[in-house]
């Protein structure tokens, strides 16, 4: 175990330099697999946020005036550094988050893909023009940056989710204040260092550690033009309501309860493999995790049997070990909360097929995969976002009933169907009420050039993260009508 005297206390990054915060307190950052103390995160005050926003506002005029091709070249240099430090970044993610090194590598790659997209800023920032909208009158539109924008990111993807935000925002000419999760801040620190190594001018990106005090200060600061957020549904709603009431543009990506429909004609070998990855990858701590399987018709018994066998065979342990297939959850409090849901599932009458509380490794915040059968849609384990390695099976007589189960959810982040039938897949695509859909895909994650398109309680706002939506979110449109 690391002694407290040797543990690093993190600093904020403001106006091109690392500074001590003026915090209300500190949060410990343990390795979830071992309990080893990695760092202490300062819980920054409103004064710390003020300093970061002031630095970003001062840097904005020069950065906005920097030609877009030069901004893109800087991002190309940053991407090269990310590639060079790829394995280092994956190891940091595993150490502070707990996910397997294979999952961490996938996350790093997904983050880099957004930087690649943002490097196309000279094309993405193009406007439009039409000559002679009237005799001798021309009309054109152009995109311009907003000013200072803020990003508030979650613990579960400390590399990928910040990249949904700041590369596109910077490419569009904005300056940025990043508030990473206080539970996984180390990746954000390293990303900031690499941005500075790439040549980003002082004040263009600032990093403020903290929790709700820092968040609320960003949401209400008069110099912050827009806020991007990813996190739980209650906090997303708070972020949206508070920032919008302060006149800001907001995209708030929220919770999920993703359904995986399995039709009787599905290839069960491939389907079970996809469900295992979806439900138990990253220990179920991701907003695209499939947490409810809707088994249609006669497939249910065989499917549950296969799910039970596959879940029981998953190797749980320290994510740094290449042999590990599922790591720990983020904190002991998360383990207790998830265990409470397992107990509630039992008391509500679901059949516990695999109990993740049994046989989990010691020394970290571990659970094993849990599988329930005979789940009904009104049960808490079918309604609530558990954010852990718990999978429930709901049985439905046909596709129409299965779609009814999915569409009754308050959430609408993602849904998938497993089938060989084009007709069933087409009906699913047309009728399902979710933003990101998979056909024989367990995790329907869009690539960086498409939007991360949650619906219902899974998203608050109008313009989604990534893709052209992100460019529109981080820019304003000017329309010029001229006669000469």
Q: What is the set of active-site residues?
A: 287
Give 316's DSSP letter.
B
DSSP H helical segments within 313-432, as ranges?
332-347, 380-383, 399-407, 422-431
Contact 476, 469 (CB under 8 A): no
- Backbone angles phi and psi of 211, in degrees to 5: -130, -135
Residue 279 to residue 392: CA distance in whole angstroms: 10
* SS3 state of residue 38: strand
Q: To 5 degrees, how large is the angle CA 293–CA 278–CA 287?
A: 95
- Nearest-angstrom CA–CA distance, 369 and 451: 30
Determine the Cα–Cα distance for residues 294 and 342; give it in Å rounded to an integer: 19
**Distance from C-alpha of 246 to C-alpha of 321, rounded to nearest angstrom:** 47
Q: How many helices (H) and strands (E) does the chain have?
A: 16, 23
Instruction: Measure the CA–CA gap between 301 and 283, rounded to whole angstroms.
Output: 25
The C-alpha atoms of residue 164 and residue 170 are separated, in whole angstroms, by 11
Cβ proximity of 219 and 190 under 8 Å: no
Cα distances (angstroms) measured from residue 354 to each of 29, 310, 376, 379: 31, 10, 17, 18
Residue 454, helix vs strand vs coil: coil
Token pair for residue 246? 């302060």
The answer to whether 148 touches 138, Cβ cutoff 8 Å, is no
Tokens matching residue 168 = 């596109």
Strand segments (E) across 300-365: 351-354
């Amino acid at each position: 175990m690391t002694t407290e005297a040797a543990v690093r206390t993190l600093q904020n990054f403001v106006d091109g330099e690392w500074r001590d915060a003026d915090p209300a307190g500190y949060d410990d950052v343990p390795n979830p697999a071992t309990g080893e103390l990695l760092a202490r995160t300062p819980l920054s005050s409103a004064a710390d946020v003020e300093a970061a926003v002031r630095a970003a506002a001062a840097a904005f005029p020069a950065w906005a005036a920097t030609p877009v091709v030069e901004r893109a070249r800087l991002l190309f240099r940053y991407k090269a550094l990310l590639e060079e430090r790829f394995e280092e970044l994956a190891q940091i993610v595993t150490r502070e988050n707990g996910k397997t090194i294979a999952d961490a590598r996938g996350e790093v790659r997904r983050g880099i893909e957004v930087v690649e997209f943002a490097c196309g800023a000279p094309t993405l920032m193009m406007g439009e023009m039409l000559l002679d909208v009237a005799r001798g009158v021309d009309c054109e539109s152009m995109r311009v940056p907003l000013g200072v924008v803020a990003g508030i990111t979650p613990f579960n993807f400390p590399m990928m989710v910040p990249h949904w935000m700041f590369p596109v925002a910077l490419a569009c000419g904005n300056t940025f204040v990043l508030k990473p999760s206080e539970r996984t801040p180390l990746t954000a620190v390293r990303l900031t260092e690499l941005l500075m190594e790439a040549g980003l001018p002082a004040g263009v990106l600032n990093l403020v550690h903290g929790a709700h005090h820092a968040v609320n200060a960003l949401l209400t600061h008069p110099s912050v033009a827009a806020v991007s957020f990813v996190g739980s549904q209650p906090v997303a709603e708070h972020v949206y309501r508070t920032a919008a009431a302060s006149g800001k543009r907001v995209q708030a990506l929220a919770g999920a309860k993703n359904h995986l429909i399995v039709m009787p004609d599905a290839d069960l070998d491939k389907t079970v493999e996809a469900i295992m990855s979806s439900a138990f990858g990253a220990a179920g701590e991701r907003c695209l995790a499939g947490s409810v399987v809707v088994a249609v018709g006669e497939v249910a018994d065989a499917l549950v049997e296969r799910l039970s066998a596959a879940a029981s065979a998953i190797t749980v342990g320290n994510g740094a070990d290449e042999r590990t297939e599922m790591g720990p959850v983020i904190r002991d409090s998360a383990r207790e909360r998830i265990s409470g849901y397992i107990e509630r599932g039992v008391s509500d009458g679901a059949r516990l097929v695999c109990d993740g509380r049994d046989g989990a490794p010691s020394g970290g915040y571990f659970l094993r995969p849990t599988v329930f059968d005979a789940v009904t849609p009104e049960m808490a384990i079918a309604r609530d976002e558990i954010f852990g390695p718990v999978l429930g099976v709901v049985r439905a007589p046909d596709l129409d009933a299965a779609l009814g189960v999915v569409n009754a959810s308050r959430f609408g982040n993602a849904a998938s169907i497993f089938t060989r039938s084009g007709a069933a897949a087409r009906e699913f695509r047309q009728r399902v009420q979710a933003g990101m859909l998979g056909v024989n895909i367990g995790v329907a994650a869009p690539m960086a050039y498409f939007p991360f398109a949650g619906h219902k309680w899974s998203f608050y706002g109008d313009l989604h993260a990534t893709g052209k939506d992100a460019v529109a979110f981080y820019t304003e449109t000017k329309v010029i009508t001229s006669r000469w």
